[in-house]
Structure 1
Amino acid sequence: MSQYTPMIQQYLTIKEKHRDAFLFFRLGDFYEMFFEDAKRASQLLEITLTSRDGGSKDRIPMCGVPHHSAPNYIKQLVEMGYKVAICEQVEDPKATKGVVKREVIQIITPGTVMDQTLLKESENNFIAGVAHEGTAFSIVLNDLSTGELRGYLYNGDVDSILQELQALEVREVVVSSQLYDQLAEPLRIRQQVIASIQEEHTVPASFVGSMANSAHPLVTAASGRLFSYLVHTQKRSLEHIQPLAMQKNEEFMKIDSFSKRNLELTETNRLKGKKGSLLWLLDRTVTGMGSRKLKQWMEQPLYIKEHIEERLHVVEELMSEFFIREELRDALKNVYDLERLAGKVSFGSVTARDLVQLKVTLTCMPKIKEIISRLRSAFSERVAQNLDCHESLCEFLDEALHEDPPLSIKEGGLIKVGYHEALDRYRDASVNGKAWIAALEQQERQATGIKSLKIGYNRIFGYFIEVTKSNLHAIPQGRYERKQTLANAERYVTPELKEKERLILEAEEKMVSLEYELFLQLREHVKQYIQSLQQLASQVSAIDVLQGFAVISDEQHYVKPVISERGTVSIVNGRHPVVEKVLDSQEYVPNDFSLHEARSMLLITGPNMAGKSTYMRQLALTVIMMQIGCFVPADEAELPLFDQIFTRIGAADDLVGGQSTFMVEMLETNYALNKATKHSLLLLDEIGRGTSTYDGMALAQAIIEYIHHEIGAKTLFSTHYHELTVLAEMLPSLQNVFVSAVEEEGRLVFLHKVIDGQADRSFGIHVAQLAQLPAVVINRAKDILTVFEANEDRPSAQQETAAALADTQLTLFTEEQSEKKVEIEKPSEVEDMLRSMNVLDMTPLDAMNALYALQKKLK
């Protein structure tokens, strides 16, 4: 390093410790980057790349950003998935000889951001610590902005870890170097999540209290790894991190990432936005923390009957008490994000404006408590009884803080008059001193007769008396002491002015310094309330979610579901909640569901676009709505508790992962078959369509039989393989249903009604016609279909028909040509043999022998 200047040596020494981050190196009013950091940052941030002399023979690449605009650039880098290490001067340059000492004061990563501009109000920002041993692994989540800490235990391999991390929607994962090699690339490519290495997995002493709820060694290791990483990157107090909440699998319904995506719980598959998802429909919360709570509930529906019924009772009461509900909503409108305010207090980033928001929020609590106390449910009574309004803290903040303080905490104007005696004296000296200056200006104008005389101030010369050169003759001899000469004026001082200047500046300096010191004391005082404020936030956010359920249930005419003890699904006139909302004024066709022990599987047939997938999703969303405590879209509903929901709906490939649509379909189906229990709900749509007809049909039948015989779960299975409908005669718990449609004047009309029985046609050409394919294509398809249908009873009809069609003229340029009849040649000997066979009476061995004989004839 000897070739470089001392400052560049210092940079390289610090950079060596933070090789995985962009190092923002403070130089005066700028953050500078050098070498490779500069080259990459200039491209990513679109800023100018320059260079400077660093002592070596070659100039060093360099780029920089002003310190006041750095947050915008940091935001861009973090949103791209990069880390940023903030390196500040930790010595006063005026009091230092040589290179100023610098240290990294914080490392900002996607999983540890605290800046409000980088956080989404309605979403958590999770970072995960992972530990594993054999087939067991633990994931511990933390949202640094709210302090939430959750622990999970699983069994599985590396793919299972990836699956769970995707379902938990983390932004960053902290792992050992061993796991890093296996997880980092898949996380980056498939989930756009960064992985970070942290070998230390012992829980730091300051976090031991947070681990009281778990003694499992894997959870402790995952927590220790996460805590060690947070301490390394944040380098400040993390007192707001809450005690670990272990997520017990037996208390919640499990929804894997496939199902969350297929059911569009939190975002739509097409646009990847909230609108059109179940979250979009149900989010009638008023507060940001309520919106986050709703998302958490949706991702982990309850599996305990008593807890679900408790929520349902509150929703029922709020639906019947319209005026109480509206009062509650009005009161919640003045509530700020308590969780994140508490986090900022602990983190040391809270401003006076934030604390004013805290005061305003606490001011609303007595009203909210009084409103809740008017409700009669056990949950409401418990919340009202335990709701701590923090009256003393609210009074303290009200006495201390200005109503509208400045954003900066170092420029004064934060503390109210009357809060601190010494501060009031300094303020008085400052205000009176400035009044004395104004009075002196008037006095001097009168004494000299110079009306343009003025008293000004600048940081270099302090206060001065300024007289234009044209009026210099009017100044009495020896009255002023010359201070500065300008082009058109002279500046003077007097002994009295200098003395008053000293008093004023001293008062202002001490006033700002004292205000800052008082604010820090005030912030430390508020820290004592962090845990109770977090508890208050949890209670208020839960109430916010439940009132939102009441609002949407009332508006959409949802009903209170009954939890079935006998495993029965009975829904009368059920609706898909999101589709119904999107259709708005258009009529939605409701459907019934009936599933029980003797009818646990429905095989659904019907034309494309008729609504099979909607019907299947409808049941899953209704189940989820009940198990999060919301009313459901139906006239009547009785539902059991489901421990898991598995779905295979919609076609999607994984180009990045190198997996075809059919492979993705098989992987998701495999996951369901291996994880499902008798108490699960399975939704399988068009299984086997991605391969040949017979392969797909064989797979579909085998899957149906496996679920029926081995799992016994409630299952909806939709298919276009009408041949599978015969399974209803062989499998006692399987029932055929179909989505009805009729053909009127050659056009297809969907009835969207699901009834018992089986469809006899798929109406694929009619759907193509609705999609407005060219008429010439539609007419040609009808001709080809006629040929296929004419030969559908013959085993080798497909092969023979394809050959026959290949011999016809396939010119499609005009409608007239497309309407020509397909001419088929005179039947061959093979065709005659096929026609004479009675396939239904043949054994499999007879069929194979006959097929072999036919093949020999063709050869």
Structure 2
Amino acid sequence: SFVAGIPKNSYEFYVKKCLYLNKRVCLCDQQEEQDPEFKVQKRLIKQIISAGTCSREEFISDRFGLVYCNDQQFYYFNPIDQQIAQFTLDVRQMQQKLIQLNPAEIIVSSSELQRQLQPVTEVLIQLYQTDDFRSFSQPHRLKAFDQIYQFENQFLQDYLNYVNQSSKLYVQPRAQPKNPLPFTTIQTLNLQQIIKFLQQFCQTRFGKRYLHQLVLNPYSDQTQIEKMHTQVDKNSNLNLSKIFDLQLFSFKPAQNVKILKSMEQIGNIFQDSNLLAQIKHELAVFSDVEKLCLNAQLESQLSFIKESLREKQKQALQSLNLQPVKSETFDKSLTANAAKTCLGFTDEFIVVGKQIVSEAQLQQIKKKLKYADCTACCYKFEIPEEIQVLKQRISEFQENQVQTRVQNVFQLIKDNAEEMKQIYDQLAVIDVAQAFNKLKSKFKTSWCRPEFGSAFSIKEAQYLTQIGKFTPISFANSQISILTGPNMSGKSTLLRTLSISIILAQIGCFVPAVELKMPIFDNILTRIGGYDFGNSTFQTEMMDIGQILSLATKKSFVIIDEIGRGTEQIASDALGQAITKHLQRIRAIGVISTHSQQLCHVAAAMGLKVYEMEVFQSMKKIIFKYACREIEGQQQSLGCEVAELAGISPEIIEKAKVYRQKMNESIQAECAGVIEAILND
């Protein structure tokens, strides 16, 4: 824990920064008058804010909500939708749920769970070793902060009370998608990076949320994809950045202007909506907060009060007999240089720059005005009471005049929550469609849309986040096929490019390729690379492949990279052949990469296509072409040559080449019996 003071006029910036870094923030009220000698003042903690329980619009980033995991219990607290959900999940399901929910704060009850969940999220996971969720804090660390300890113990209870007392705009969560991408696909394709890459082109939080869910749950219906294409083709260039997020509506006076202006802007977009027409009627009498008056007489009264205020402020400054460089009312904080020569009003003080006042003048001013504070650049004095009264009258006048209109608009929103939610869903689609157009405009490369049919082929495709940095990839096949080639030849890049291209096609986005022909897949199932999360590498791989096989159908696209890399060669070959046979039997489309000579021979005998990454060998040099070609089952083995390039001694390489030749002859002899057994199965 640490304590730091921050400027009041910019505290929102610092609080948001702290929440982004997963720090909790105590907001305090000062209990004593400001001491001119800068002695420590007594303060009382007013509120504790955390990233996961914060519902204030000014503090929320792209992610929100709190997740608590305890053994197999998974709790999700959403302060925006005002929902609480509980799930019974195993660790792998928790990993997938974390990626889907994308919470701002995660708390776990054990270090083992912390270690298993941390790799799937960018949020720093906090550990509280207790079974009681209401007791978040650790007293031995907070002995000097009794109030913080007290607030921490009430942290959850206060939040639950807030949820129960709040007016619930939404109660029912969205329906769960039928075929969400499995965890192994999300993790091995690093879809969180893809999502973040695409979200940079969105303007709104709700657009980013929609895109996040869309990538994790691509459309599986051609009609939905074509609707997104239609929206993208409209190529609307709407500025949505200032539209207030419906999920952040709290109906507080501080948000009135933002919400009302958002409703006015949305009404201009959806002109055929009866609900928005009613809202626009309520908003028709004003264009900004100063014109929220009901008639000309009231507007005249407001103008008179404002003119009186300006005159009083001018007289107050003239009475000080100073010659400032700058004299006005300051709405925002000043720079250090400007503050030294200024004379004017802020919301709370009269500010006098130190360079324009002598010591004698300062003493005279202190007789006229009540001294409040000083900084390195200026002196601050309290605003005279008569001016404060005028400012209060203006504030009350405006607030009273807007209240009726505000209440009418908010009541319309509450009474038609479902329709308003549908309108915002349409806005999210518009935002995402505009993001797709911005993506296409930013990168000057070939972009295409898929042609839907039964066959699969792609020409000159590029990896989304590395456009222009890799050799374009072409591939064609309408069944399970085998891909082989030496390390560093581009197998994994090819597999990821195929998978990402299909996901882009099925969310309605442009695909960075010259041409893409494909069926619509009910799921994209991939297992590329290696990770473990606490289990052995081989066990994790088998768990992933088991999940893939349980979900795979004839409408699935399946990618498996190097089956059985973590176990002995015989078991690896046997598993590879059995899995390949199963996927062929159910008629799935996809690619299995391997270094196994035996699997290549067996696959060719089964009638499957075998592809090899093209490599050109000249003298002692190996040139990778990063393209694939179909072969008859006998791959070109270049592992020894790659090892030589990596610095293995020539003597060892020569012996390895002799052994390789003998082993190849042995494999060819053994394959005959294996092929016969598989074909007869």
For 1:545, give the aligned amino acid.
Answer: V
TM-score by length of 1: 0.56
Shift of 1:542: 1.1
Shift of 1:743: 1.4
For 2:97, give the aligned amino acid.
Answer: E
Counterpart of 1:773 in structure 2 is: 646
| Conserved? CA contact 2:504–2:511, under 8 Å | yes
Structure 2 counterpart of 1:578, from 432, 445, 464: 464
Q: Distance in 2 between matches of 1:243 and 1:539?
A: 20
Q: What is the SS of the residue equivalent to 2:558?
A: strand
Mapping of 1:194-593 within 5 angstroms? 230-232=159-161, 237-239=166-168, 241-250=169-178, 253-267=179-193, 277=194, 280=197, 284-315=201-232, 317-318=233-234, 325=235, 328-329=236-237, 332-333=238-239, 335-339=241-245, 343-346=248-251, 350=255, 354=258, 359=261, 362-363=264-265, 366=268, 368=269, 388=276, 390-396=279-285, 398-401=287-290, 423-431=302-310, 433=312, 506-515=389-398, 524=407, 526-528=409-411, 530=413, 531=417, 534-553=421-440, 556-564=445-453, 568-578=454-464, 581-583=467-469, 588-593=471-476
Counterpart of 2:36 in structure 1 is: none
| Conserved? CA contact 1:553–1:559, under 8 Å | no
Q: Distance in 2 between matches of 1:673 and 1:590?
A: 27
| Conserved? CA contact 2:614–2:627, under 8 Å | yes
Q: What is the SS of the residue equivalent to 1:266?
A: helix
Counterpart of 2:654 in structure 1 is: 783
Q: Distance in 2 between matches of 1:347 and 1:193?
A: 32
Where structure 2 has 5 or more consecutive residues not aligned to the other structure, the ranges are 34-42, 135-154, 322-343, 351-359, 370-383, 676-681
* 1:42-63 CA distance string (max 9 Å, x none): 3xx6x5xxxxxxxxxxxxxxxx
For 1:388, give the aligned amino acid.
Answer: L
Shift of 1:262: 1.9
| Conserved? CA contact 1:400–1:415, under 8 Å | no
Counterpart of 1:215 in structure 2 is: none
Q: Distance in 2 between matches of 1:425 and 1:313?
A: 53
| Conserved? CA contact 2:522–2:555, under 8 Å | yes
Change (3 A) 1:290 1:83: same
Shift of 1:717: 0.5
1:714 pairs with 2:589: yes
Identity %: 21
| Conserved? CA contact 2:600–2:635, under 8 Å | no
Comparing 343-352 and 181-190, the one that deviates more? 181-190
| Conserved? CA contact 1:237–1:347, under 8 Å | no
Change (3 A) 1:736 1:508: closer
* 1:235-261 CA distance string (max 9 Å, x none): 97455x4352432433xx421233123
Structure 1 counterpart of 2:64, from 109, 121, 125: 125
Mapping of 1:601-750 within 5 angstroms? 601-654=480-533, 658-709=534-585, 712-728=587-603, 731=606, 734-750=608-624
C-alpha RMSD over aligned residues: 5.2
Counterpart of 2:376 in structure 1 is: none
Q: Distance in 2 between matches of 1:624 and 1:741?
A: 29
Shift of 1:625: 1.6
Q: Distance in 1 between matches of 2:365 and 2:56?
A: 49
| Conserved? CA contact 1:78–1:109, under 8 Å | yes
Q: What is the SS of the residue equivalent to 2:52?
A: coil
Shift of 1:362: 3.2
Shift of 1:738: 2.0
Where structure 1 has 5 or more consecutive residues not aligned to the other structure, the ranges are 1-40, 48-63, 93-101, 201-225, 268-276, 319-324, 371-383, 404-413, 443-455, 463-483, 494-500, 798-836, 845-859
Q: Distance in 1 between matches of 2:658 and 2:239?
A: 67
Shift of 1:575: 0.9
For 1:591, give the aligned amino acid.
Answer: S
For 2:227, give the aligned amino acid.
Answer: E
| Conserved? CA contact 1:610–1:752, under 8 Å | yes
For 2:251, give the aligned amino acid.
Answer: S
For 1:702, give the aligned amino acid.
Answer: A
Shift of 1:88: 5.8
1:111 pairs with 2:52: yes
Q: Distance in 2 between matches of 1:416 and 1:90?
A: 43
| Conserved? CA contact 2:16–2:60, under 8 Å | no
Q: Distance in 2 between matches of 1:842 and 1:432?
A: 103
Change (3 A) 1:386 1:718: farther
* 1:385-410 CA distance string (max 9 Å, x none): 6793753354455253389xxxxxxx
| Conserved? CA contact 2:640–2:657, under 8 Å | no
Q: Distance in 1 between matches of 2:201 and 2:311?
A: 53
Q: Distance in 2 between matches of 1:490 and 1:614?
A: 73
Q: Distance in 2 between matches of 1:550 and 1:524?
A: 38
| Conserved? CA contact 2:25–2:48, under 8 Å | yes
Task: Name which structure has the greater RCO, CA cutoff 8 Å, separation 6+.
Answer: 2
* 1:740-772 CA distance string (max 9 Å, x none): 222123322233332322352232344456xx6
For 2:461, give the aligned amino acid.
Answer: R
TM-score by length of 2: 0.69
For 2:662, give the aligned amino acid.
Answer: N
Q: Distance in 1 between matches of 2:500 and 2:167?
A: 38
| Conserved? CA contact 2:199–2:208, under 8 Å | no
Q: Distance in 1 between matches of 2:672 and 2:649?
A: 37
Counterpart of 1:792 in structure 2 is: 663
| Conserved? CA contact 1:427–1:511, under 8 Å | yes
Q: Which has the larger radius of gyration?
A: 1
Q: Distance in 1 between matches of 2:669 and 2:116?
A: 56
For 1:685, give the aligned amino acid.
Answer: D
